[in-house]
Amino acid sequence: MTDIKSMDYDELCEYVVGIGEKKFRAEQLYGWMHQKLVSGFDDCTNLPAAFREKLKSECEFTCLEPVKVQQSQIDGTAKYLFRLQDGNYVESVLMKYHHGNSVCISSQVGCRFCASTLKGKVRDLKTSEMLDQIYRIQKITGERVSNVVVMGSGEPMDNYDNLIKFITLLNSPKGLNISQRNITVSSCGIVPKLKELADLDLQITLAISLHAPNDELRKTMMPIANRYSIEQIMDVCRYYIEKTGRRISFEYSLVKGVNDSMQCANQLTELVRDLNCHINLIPVNPIKERDYKQTGRDEVYAFKNKLEKNGINVTIRREMGRDIDGACGQLRNNYMEDVNESNGDY
């Protein structure tokens, strides 16, 4: 079956004309899928019935099924559990800020460095499955999504082709038309793909999950550190900044007694001193299967102050959705507990 929602506009036009329809039908169909965000071909009411039947026989229409929603009692953040058409599940998070609604989406079922890595990667998400996390949340809430963060389960650079198509469709004036500058993509540091990304000269924000200032420590925290050294990552970051002119963000999760010492702060300073970058400090969030402990508030601010005194641009990430396991690093691949507890929330 043809994954029609993953097609860009030109591909859809070629497909529609190829099956004997007029080109303007492609524009109508594209609008139904990517602007009106309908859930199936039968909702495309200005398309001829025969055309809709032909589409149903030849194409799959990706529409994620919302299984459960949890809303934080602390800050209103909402976490959505979606069932995919093959029976797998992904989670997405809606965060509301004064500047607009931001959605954090997953790029794979399972991932490398968060709660879901405990069961490993299952598969890549299709472009349409990445898009539809945003589409369903926008339809459910009735509110526009203005910012997108690809920072949920998965390593986006491992799903590179689908990621780039996702950005193209999300940015299209014929779709939601979300500015590239309002799209953030996080990576643990897949160096060859980061170089490819730099060569595209996109205006997205790149966030590198660093979490340690030296290779020895990083290898104890992130398996990817055994493939690519911090020196290689810094080199490709310099290349990315030179090619795109964009500032890079480094994500640094503070773990008590592991990477939160003043020595680590000084090493981190030396790593990034010459880069156009920003350090995003993240007090590690609890995950029941891991024994990481959160750095205390005073120690977090001491680490931040040390970086600032060294001339580094740094902020502490605001914790959102922690009480619903929706904060950074807490999305997981063990969904059956949530599924069994949902009891028809939708």
Domains in the chain with CATH codes: 2-60 (1.10.150.530), 107-125+145-330 (3.20.20.70)
The pLDDT of residue 120 is 76
| 58 C-beta neighbours (distance < 10 Å), count | 12
What pLDDT is recorded for position 284?
87
The active-site residue out of 188, 237, 277, 328 is 328
pLDDT at 115: 45
pTM of the model: 0.90
> Which H, E and C letters describe the chain, residue by residue?
CEEHHHCCHHHHHHHHHHCCCCHHHHHHHHHHHHCCCCCCHHHCCCCCHHHHHHHHHHEECCCCEEEEEEECCCCCCEEEEEECCCCCEEEEEEEEECCEEEEEECCEECCCCCHHHHCCCCEECCHHHHHHHHHHHHHHHCCCEEEEEECCCCCHHHHHHHHHHHHHHHHCCCCCCCCHHHEEEEECCCHHHHHHHHHCCCCCEEEEECCCCCHHHHHHHCHHHHCCCHHHHHHHHHHHHHHHCCCEEEEEEEECCCCCCHHHHHHHHHHHCCCCEEEEEEECCCCCCCCCCECCHHHHHHHHHHHHHCCCCEEECCCCCHHHCCCCCCCCCCCHHHHHHHCCCC
Pick the catalytic residue from 13, 63, 91, 114.
91
**What is the pLDDT, as a whole number, of residue 112?**
57
Predicted pLDDT of residue 76: 86
Q: Is 60 a catalytic residue?
A: no
Active site residue 277: no
Neighbours of 318 (CB within 10 A): 10
> What is the spatial distance between Cα 189 and Cα 237, in angstroms, rounded to a whole number?
9
Run means of pLDDT, 10 residues per run, the chain, 346 residues? 97 98 98 98 97 97 97 91 97 93 95 56 95 98 97 95 98 98 97 98 97 97 95 98 98 96 98 97 73 90 98 86 49 50 46
Q: Note whether 56 and 17 are within 8 A (CB).
A: no
CA distance 79 to 85: 20
